[in-house]
């Protein structure tokens, strides 16, 4: 982590760092075929949680998780309009 700026608290920097780490691990797991990581990553993209909101990426990962048997992803695809 770089030095803390004047207008940025240590807490804010830590939260940002942890969000980046979480995204990196979800992405790694999803690409390796972990179905729960695929679903979690889709959910983060759908809600813009720690990442820029992207319905395209959300759909991609919901579909992948659904193909791998994740019931929540199947339900999400049925209930959501992309």
Which tens digits make up the pLDDT trace of 8-43?
Answer: 898 888 888 898 999 999 999 999 999 999 999 999
Tokens of residue 54, six digits:
């992207």
Place of tokens 């982590």: 1
Residue 3: count other Cβ atoms within 10 Å of its Cβ: 6
The distance from CA 43 to its chain's CA centroid, rounded to whole angstroms, is 6
Taking 70 as the threshold, does the pLDDT of residue 47 lie above it?
yes
Are 54 and 82 a contacting pair, CB within 8 Å? no
Nearest alpha-carbon partner for 58 in 72, 74, 40: 40
Please tell me the total number of residues recorded for the chain in this structure. Answer: 82
pLDDT band, very low/low/confident/very high, at 67 (cuts 50, 70, 90): very high
pTM for the model: 0.82
């Amino acid at each position: 982590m770089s030095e803390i700026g004047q207008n940025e608290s240590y807490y804010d920097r830590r939260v940002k760092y942890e969000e980046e780490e979480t995204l990196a691990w979800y992405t790694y797991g999803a690409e390796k075929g972990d179905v729960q990581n695929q679903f979690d990553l889709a959910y983060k993209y759908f809600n813009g949680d720690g990442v820029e909101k992207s319905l395209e990426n959300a759909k991609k990962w919901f579909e992948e998780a659904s193909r791998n048997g994740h019931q929540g992803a199947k339900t999400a695809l049925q209930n959501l309009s992309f």
